[in-house]
Amino acid sequence: MQKGIIGKKIGMTQIFDETGKVIPVTVVEAGPCVVVQKKTIENDGYEAVQLGFGDIRAKRVNKPLAGHFKKADVALKRTLKEFRFDDISGLNVGDIVKADTFAEGDIVDVCGTSKGKGYAGTIKRHNNARLKETHGSGPVHRHAGSMGACSSPSRIYKGKGMPGHLGAERVTVQNLKIVKIDAENNLIAIKGAIPGPKNGTVTIVDCVKKA
């Protein structure tokens, strides 16, 4: 059965394995999550479950969303995420999903929102090369330079790397290993770094390890 959970990135630390080797890990507060909605092929055309994570005050929930939680007879949640699984027969509305749904050694994909870095030029955003600072480069040594001169008619093609907003986008890191699970405190230690700032929301789903 496929597994998934919503969590909050706590931060990075390091732990030691049985041989004394240092392993850098990211700690995620995973769950508890509640099944808010169950979608079926008969009603929705596909199978999926909607999980809710994090408590929120009633005054911060609008009426349509409050009715959604009331229909499911579950507590109000701050974050809702939908997980499409091949088999959802083991999950029903109101079920609680905790960190112990995963096990040490599981290979997972982690999806989060990267840090926003504001407006950035082409060198920082697209790793473009800079001009030399000597012999007449002037004040444009970090500019993108002329574009479109070799096209007819002269134009900028779609997909051209230009200055603009950097970061604050959905990023998925695949094939990460779960090193340790603290089921009592709903904590999962994942080897390596995962996207997003501290206290950012992430989703964890199991995957098949690639060769």
Concatenated DSSP letters for 162-208?
A: -SEEEE-SEEEEEEEEEEEEETTTTEEEEES--SS-TT-EEEEEE-P
pLDDT of 35: 92
Q: Which residues of the chain have pLDDT under 70?
A: 1, 208-211
pLDDT of 209: 46
Give dist(CA 53, CA 106) in Å, integer: 22
Give dist(CA 211, CA 75) in Å, integer: 42
Concatenated DSSP letters for 140-157?
A: GTTS----STTSSS--PP
Give dist(CA 45, CA 21) in Å, integer: 48
> Please, what's the b/e burial string for 2-13 (b: 16 or more CB within 10 A of its CB; e: otherwise)?
ebbbbbbbeeee
pLDDT of 11: 92
pLDDT of 178: 92
Q: What residue ranges define each of the domains in the chain, with the CATH number in brackets?
A: 4-117+170-206 (2.40.30.10), 118-167 (no CATH)
pLDDT of 188: 93
Give dist(CA 57, CA 195) in Å, integer: 27
**Between the CA atoms of 15, 16, 22 and 23, what dihedral angle is there, to the nearest 10 degrees?**
-50
